[in-house]
Chain A
C-alpha cells in the first residue's frame, strides 16, 4: 500500500514537472516520494535512523536510510495517523508521549514499517527517538548502532564522534558486504558541500524585505534535506530553491502579497492540514520566513577529514547543548530575518517543544519579539480543535498589528 502511494505520488509529480509545471516544492516532494518508494520497495537494505545520523555517509554506502520521525509526519500529512497512534496504547506508551514516535511504533505493529537491515540510533536530539530505534531493533531482531552525540564541540568531542562514525562505517559494511569506498564518500561530501552552499544562498535571499518565502515554501525543508545529503538530488533541490528565491527577489515578488508580518517558526511544523498558511497569508499578509531548523549551523566538510566534518555537523544542531545556545540561535535568526513575532507549537510530549518554552519566550522578548506558544500535537490531528487554534493565531496577529516593529 505505501509503496503504491509513493510510486503514484512520484509519477504524478514527475508528470507535472516534465510538463513544465516544476517548482522547488514539487522537486523536493518528488525526492521524498522517491525515498518513500525505496523505503517501501521491499528490496531490503533499509536503515532506520535517528535525526542526527550521517545520511551522506549512509547514502555513500548505498543504504536507503531515513529517520523514524518521517513515518509519523507522513502518516499525519496523509490524514491516517489516528489508528496507528492508538495502536501504541497496547505497548505501554503514554497518551502524552510524542506522537511522532507513537505513530511510527503503531505503524510497526501494523506492518507499515519496512523491516530494516540494521538501525542507527542517535542520542540527540531526544531520548524518545532513541527509544523507538531500540524498540524497532527488538521488534525486528536487528542490530542497532547507537551514536553518542556529544553536547558541544569542546575537548575531544569531535574526535570522539568521528571515531564512532568510522566504526559505524565498518558496522554498515558488515551488513551490506561492501566496504566504504573512499571515492564514493568524497563525491558525497562534495555534494553535501554544494547543497550546503546553495541552501545558505537561498536562506540569504529569504532574509530580504519583503521575503520571497511563503509560509509553505520551506516547511520541513532543513530537517528533511538532511536525508538527501551526499546525493545529486540534494544539490538539485537546493539549487531549485536558490534559483526561485533569487528570481523572486530580482522581480521584487514577495512570498505573500503585500507582506506585513514576518514570523519565525520554532521547532517543527504541524504536519497535518490545519489552515494556518491561509489564515496568515490571506487575512494578515503574514508569512513564516524562517524556521528554527532552516539554518546552516555547520561549516563545509573538509573532504580530507570527512568524519570530523560530519561529526561537527551532528553536534552543531540547535537542539544540542544548553538552552542558552538555542535561545542565542533563535535571537540571531529573529534579528537576521527581521521577524515581528515567533510561533512555538510546543509539540506535546516533546523535550525541545515544552522544556525550553519559558526561556525561549523570555529570550525573544528581550529583543522585542513576542512568542505565541501553542499547545499542539503536531502529528495527532485528533487532538486538534480548529476554533481554539484559530483564536490564538488571530489574537497573536491582532496583537502584532498593534505593536511597533522591533526593527523600525
Chain B
C-alpha cells in the first residue's frame, strides 16, 4: 500500500508517494498556476506514473498548503506548518528549528525531538521575505530565479535592501542597477534582507536558538545565497535536504500513513 501527500502552494504543487515503510517512491513538482485543481490532478498523475503505481493502490491521501481543501478524496487536510515539521524530522532527524520559505509566506517552526510543532511564527501583513519577493527581485534584475543563488558570490556585503515592501524593494533594486551597483552586491543585499526577516521570526519563538539543530525547507531553500545569508543571520549551520520543495508533501504522506496505522478510515 502507498500513501500520497500533496502540497498545493501558491507557486508550486508538489506530490510525494511513500510506501508502508516510509520510503519515498516518487515525487513531483509542477507550477500551481491559476487552476489548482488541474495542477493537483497533474501532479498526482505524474507521481503515480513515475512510481508505476495504480491509483487504487494508494490507501490514503493527505493534502497541505494553501490549496489543501481543494483536494478531493483526501483523508485529511493538514497545515503546511505541521507537514513541514513532520517531513523534515524524517529527512533531517534531530532538527529542532525549521525555516520554511514558501511562495507567499515564510515560517519559523520550533519542533520537539519527535517532529511535533512546539511553536511557530509566520510572516505578517505582506509577502516580503518570501518566494514571491525573490521572484520580484529576479524580475528587477532580469535574471532567472533559479540562477539567482550563486550570483551573490564574491560580494563584499556593502549593499542593503532597506525596504520591507516588495514593490518598493523592486524599485530600490532597479535604482541600484541604474546606479551601476554590481549585481552580486545587490543579490547579497536581497538575500540578507530575506534572512533578516526570517531570523526575526526565529528569535521570537526561540531566543536561544543557537544550540538548536536547524534546517530549511521550501523552494527558496534551493537558493544557496539565501541559505548562506540565513546561516549568517542565525549564526549556526542550516541543513537543507536534497529536495526542499517536497518536504511539506512528504510530511503529508507520512501523516497519511500514521493516521491509517492509527486506525483512521482510509479513503
**Is the pair B66, A395 in contact by a Cβ cutoff of 8 Å?**
no
For chain A, residues 362 to 408, give those with C-beta under 8 angstroms from any C-beta of chain B.
370, 373, 375, 387-388, 391-392, 394-395, 398-399, 402-403
For the complex, give the distance between the alpha carbons of A388 and B121 in Å.
Answer: 12
Chain B binding surface SS class? mixed
**Is the pair B119, A395 in contact by a Cβ cutoff of 8 Å?**
no
Chain A binding surface SS class? helix
Residues of B within 8 A of A403 (CB): 116, 118
**Is the pair A375, B124 in contact by a Cβ cutoff of 8 Å?**
yes
Residues of B within 8 A of A392 (CB): 122
Does chain A have a CB within 8 A of B7?
no
Residues of A within 8 A of B204 (CB): 358
For the complex, give the distance between the alpha carbons of A54 and B221 in Å.
Answer: 57
**Is the pair A391, B80 in contact by a Cβ cutoff of 8 Å?**
yes
Does chain A have a CB within 8 A of B82?
yes
**Is the pair B78, A398 in contact by a Cβ cutoff of 8 Å?**
yes
Does chain A have a CB within 8 A of B171?
no
Does chain A have a CB within 8 A of B105?
yes
Residues of A within 8 A of B80 (CB): 391, 395
Residues of A within 8 A of B184 (CB): none
Does chain A have a CB within 8 A of B125?
yes
Option from B66, B79, B116, B125 in Cβ contact (under 8 Å) with A402: B116
Number of interface residues of A (CB under 8 A): 14
Residues of B within 8 A of A395 (CB): 79-82, 117, 120
Residues of B within 8 A of A373 (CB): 121, 124
**Is the pair A399, B119 in contact by a Cβ cutoff of 8 Å?**
yes
**Is the pair B125, A375 in contact by a Cβ cutoff of 8 Å?**
yes
Option from B66, B112, B119, B122 in Cβ contact (under 8 Å) with A370: B119
**Is the pair B82, A398 in contact by a Cβ cutoff of 8 Å?**
yes
For chain B, residues 118 to 151, give those with C-beta under 8 angstroms from any C-beta of chain A.
118-122, 124-125
CB distance from B13 to the nearest CB of A (A): 15
Which chain B residue shows the least CB distance to A371? Answer: B119
CB distance from B256 to the nearest CB of A (A): 15
For the complex, give the distance between the alpha carbons of A40 and B120 in Å.
Answer: 46
Residues of A within 8 A of B116 (CB): 399, 402-403
Which residues of chain A have a CB within 8 Å of any CB of chain B? Answer: 358, 370, 373, 375, 387-388, 391-392, 394-395, 398-399, 402-403
**Can you show 16 pairs from A to B with CB atoms below 8 A apart?**
A375-B124, A387-B66, A388-B105, A388-B122, A391-B80, A391-B81, A391-B105, A395-B82, A395-B117, A395-B120, A398-B78, A398-B81, A399-B82, A399-B116, A399-B120, A402-B116
| Closest 5 A/B residue pairs (Cβ) | A375-B124, A395-B81, A395-B79, A402-B116, A399-B117
